[in-house]
Amino acid sequence: MSSVPVLKVVVAGDGNVGKTSLIRRFCEGKFEQTRVATIGVDFQTQTVDLPGQTVKLSIWDMAGQDRFQIIRAGFYRGSRAAALVYDVTEAESLASLTRWRDEILEAVEQQLFIVVGNKIDLERTQQPEQAQEFANSLQAPYLETSALDGNGVAQLFETLAKLGL
């Protein structure tokens, strides 16, 4: 009997960019308008069918607030890939991604990243070029999502799974 590999992946980014909503959308297929902020760290598992292989993702949801930094550091260890998420309507959340990258690289030296622009169902203030350039600097894929309508969400987690394998 072949067992399904379990891959730990993390979803990081400022508070309010939609990390928990993306994970909820992917794992439970729903979007809740009102969300309680994540406290510390949370995780969910979900199976992903890749061509020729099934993997189970254990998806770690990192609370964005500075005061949780100490908790987060330990939870990055052992992760195979990380999503750096910003909100396409919030310039600051894009600027923060370098800090998120650095925090993760301190815990996991050779981390594989994916850069994600979320909330594309809203009117964007951030054009994709800057995020794409940041992704290029990490040799990371860049993609855009909406946790609200589900656009791009499956691709996001499939890409994380492929990176982590």
For residue 126, state whether it binds ligand G3D (rule: CB under 6 A). no
Nearer to Mg ion, 38 or 130 (CB): 38
Per CB under 6 A, the segment of 17-25, 47-55, 95-103, 134-142 that binds ligand G3D is: 17-25
Site string for ligand G3D, 79-118 (x = CB under 6 A): ---------------------------------------x
Q: Which amino acid is at 88?
A: V
Nearer to ligand G3D, 42 or 158 (CB): 42
For residue 132, state whether it binds Mg ion (rule: CB under 5 A). no
For residue 72, state whether it binds ligand G3D (rule: CB under 6 A). no
For residue 65, state whether it binds ligand G3D (rule: CB under 6 A). no
Kindly tell me which residue out of 10, 20, 94, 146 binds Mg ion, with binding defined by CB under 5 A. 20
The whole-angstrom separation of Cα 13 and Cα 99 is 9
CA dihedral 64, 69, 71, 77 (to 10 degrees): 90
The whole-angstrom separation of Cα 95 and Cα 131 is 9
Q: How many helices (H) and strands (E) does the chain have?
A: 6, 6
For residue 15, state whether it binds ligand G3D (rule: CB under 6 A). yes
Per CB under 5 A, the segment of 23-31, 34-42, 105-113, 138-146 that binds Mg ion is: 34-42
Residue, CB closest to ligand G3D: 18
The whole-angstrom separation of Cα 123 and Cα 41 is 30
For residue 130, state whether it binds ligand G3D (rule: CB under 6 A). no
Q: Which amino acid is at 143?
A: L
The whole-angstrom separation of Cα 112 and Cα 49 is 20
CB atoms within 10 A of CB 76: 21
* Residue-by-residue DSSP string for 80-120: SEEEEEEETT-HHHHHTHHHHHHHHHHH-TT--EEEEEE-T
Q: At closest approach, how far in Å is the CB of 10 from Mg ion?
A: 12
